[in-house]
Amino acid sequence: MAKVLVVGGAGYVGSACSAWLLDQGHRVWVLDDLSTGHRSALLGEGFTHARAGDSAAVRALFSREKFDCVMHFAARSLVGESVLKPQEYFENNVTQTALLLDEMIRAGIRRFIFSSTCAIFGNPGNQKISEHLPKAPMSPYGETKLNAEALLADCAKNQGLHAVALRYFNASGAEAQLRVGEKHDPETHLIPNVLKAVLEDRPVSVFGNDYPTPDGTCVRDYIYVSDLAAAHEAAMKRILARPAQDPKNGLFEVFNLGSESGYSVLEIIQTCEKVTGKKIKITHVERRPGDPPRLVADSALARRELGFKVRADSLNQIISTAWDWEQKKKDS
């Protein structure tokens, strides 16, 4: 069993991952600045209220607690917002990561799992997206994650870091016990927005209906958040199984994590209708800037190397748990 520092553990994917790690018997400590995360999402045995790059706080924590691995989820992650605030995105997603890594290396912690994204690929057309496709981010968000990956590669080469970047497609759903789930303010993501529209009995805005896709709306690969969490644990076990740390011999690996199935915005809305039993009204509006028509993963490498699995009937699981979670949020 490992003792894990979950940086950004008050956020959506970080908290789902904490829940998963605890259920598997690992020990979890969260570090988060609560800028976008929620105190109510904190799980585990301890919490440090600080930014990832708060060197004094991180150094003090590392001197008190011994961690086997650091998982880093804390980031700004909205494509549209990143276009308007590139400095904020680079500062949060690159500079803060560099400062965190600096303290890790100083403390002799060389196991690191990093949240990356399919946004580093830009618009790769109709093919499924495997790890080796060209990287051409269309937004500062994607650029920051690509920059952070480059940093990890350098730390692996020169400082003995064992790092894995997991490139998520569209993380969605709530973990089965509904301890934690998606809670953004403002909410921009499709599934929670559709379900909120159902609860509030208002129409859903569909951004663009003239994309080169079968029904004209964007196609995405929705991956269940607890399947992502399981992949984090598998990646951690993989790097913990390596022989004693040699400062000259680290390794950086990347895996694309998606369900490998694509669903259009309209197909998601139809599935939400089935799960909720409610008819959903649609308003067609302009395209949202920065949205590529189609992003679907090829996760063969993760399946082979991490034993990554997508649960059967993933989309139903995603939307059913997301619906339960939205109702729980409304009632609390």
Among 38, 189, 196, 278, indicate the residue that binds ligand UDP (CB under 6 A). Answer: 189
Please confirm, yes or no, whether 222 is among the known catalytic residues: no
Residue 125: CB partners within 8 Å, gap ≥ 6? 294
Residue 74 or residue 218: which is nearer to ligand UDP going by CB?
218
Among 55, 95, 159, 205, indicate the residue that binds ligand UDP (CB under 6 A). Answer: 205
Cα–Cα distance, 111 to 284 (Å, whole number): 46
Q: What is each CA distance from 43 to 74, 99, 202, 281, 285, in whole angstroms?
A: 15, 24, 34, 37, 39
8-state DSSP, 273: H
DSSP string for 225-261: HHHHHHHHHHHHHHHHTS-S--TT--EEEEEEE--S-
Residue 48 or residue 117: which is nearer to ligand UDP going by CB?
117
CA neighbor of 292 nearest in space, from 73, 132, 117: 117
Burial of 63: CB neighbours in 10 Å, binned 0-12, 13-18, 19+ = exposed
Among 131, 149, 291, 298, indicate the residue that binds ligand UDP (CB under 6 A). Answer: 291
Among 19, 28, 79, 315, indicate the residue that binds ligand UDP (CB under 6 A). Answer: 79
- State in angstroms the smallest separation of the CB of 188 from ligand UDP: 5
Residue 193 or residue 316: which is nearer to ligand UDP going by CB?
193
The piece of 90-98, 129-137, 199-207, 317-325 that touches ligand UDP (CB under 6 A) is: 199-207
Cβ-closest position to ligand UDP: 218
Q: Is 280 in the site for ligand UDP (CB under 6 A)?
A: no
Q: Is 261 in the site for ligand UDP (CB under 6 A)?
A: no
Would you say the C-alpha torsion 116, 76, 57, 32 has a positive or negative sign?
Answer: negative
The piece of 27-35, 158-166, 186-194, 250-258 that touches ligand UDP (CB under 6 A) is: 186-194
Rg (C-alpha) for the chain, rounded Å, is 19
CA neighbor of 50 nearest in space, from 65, 66, 35: 35
Q: Is the peptide bond before 247 cis (omega within 30 degrees of 0)?
A: no
Q: Is 303 in the site for ligand UDP (CB under 6 A)?
A: no
Q: Which residue has the tokens 């708060």?
A: 54
Q: Which of 12, 89, 141, 263 does the annotation list as catalytic?
A: 141
- State in angstroms the smallest separation of the CB of 272 from ligand UDP: 12
- State in angstroms the smallest separation of the CB of 164 from ligand UDP: 21
Q: Which helix (H) or strand (E) holds 207?
A: strand 204-207
- State in angstroms the smallest separation of the CB of 45 from ligand UDP: 32
Q: Is 196 in the site for ligand UDP (CB under 6 A)?
A: no
Among 48, 115, 116, 170, indicate the residue that binds ligand UDP (CB under 6 A). Answer: 170
Residue 212 or residue 243: which is nearer to ligand UDP going by CB?
212
Residue 10 or residue 171: which is nearer to ligand UDP going by CB?
171
Q: Which helix (H) or strand (E) holds 197?
A: helix 190-200
Task: Please list the active-site residues.
Answer: 141
Residues that bind ligand UDP (CB under 6 A): 79, 170, 188-190, 193, 205-207, 218, 220, 265, 288, 291
